[in-house]
Amino acid sequence: MKVVDISAESSNIGLTLDELLIVNAALNEVCNGMAIFEFETRLGADRERVALLLKEVGLLLDRMEKN
C-alpha cells in the first residue's frame, strides 16, 4: 500500500491487485459471515454501506483485470 495523499477528512492510497483482492475477500467475509444483530456494533457501519463498498471494490477489480 502506498499513501498518496492524506488529510483530516480523507486519504488517497494506491493498492496493488493482490492488496485489493485481500480487501475484497475481507469485506466479503464481513458482509456474508456476520450475524445482522451484531454487524453495526462491531463494524461501526451498517451492512448496506459495507455491501456498497464491497460492490465498488469488485467493480474496481473488474476494471483492473481488464487492463
Residue 3 lies in a domain: no
Residue 41 lies in a domain: yes
Instruction: Provide the number of structural domains found in the chain.
Output: 1
**DSSP collapsed to 3 states, the chain:** CEEEEECCCCEEEECCHHHHHHHHHHHHHHHHHCCHHHHHHHHCCCHHHHHHHHHHHHHHHHHHHHC
Question: 52: domain range?
Answer: 15-66
Confidence class of residue 13 from pLDDT cuts 50, 70 and 90? very high
Q: What average pLDDT is seen over the chain?
A: 94
- Considering the entire predicted model, what is its pTM? 0.86
Residue 21 lies in a domain: yes
The predicted pLDDT at position 5 comes to 97
pLDDT higher than threshold 90 for residue 39: no
Residue 4 lies in a domain: no
Q: What pLDDT digit, counting tens, does each position of 27-37 carry?
A: 999 998 877 88
Residue 22 lies in a domain: yes
Residue 10 lies in a domain: no
Q: Quick one: cell of 51?
A: 455491501
pLDDT higher than threshold 80 for residue 21: yes
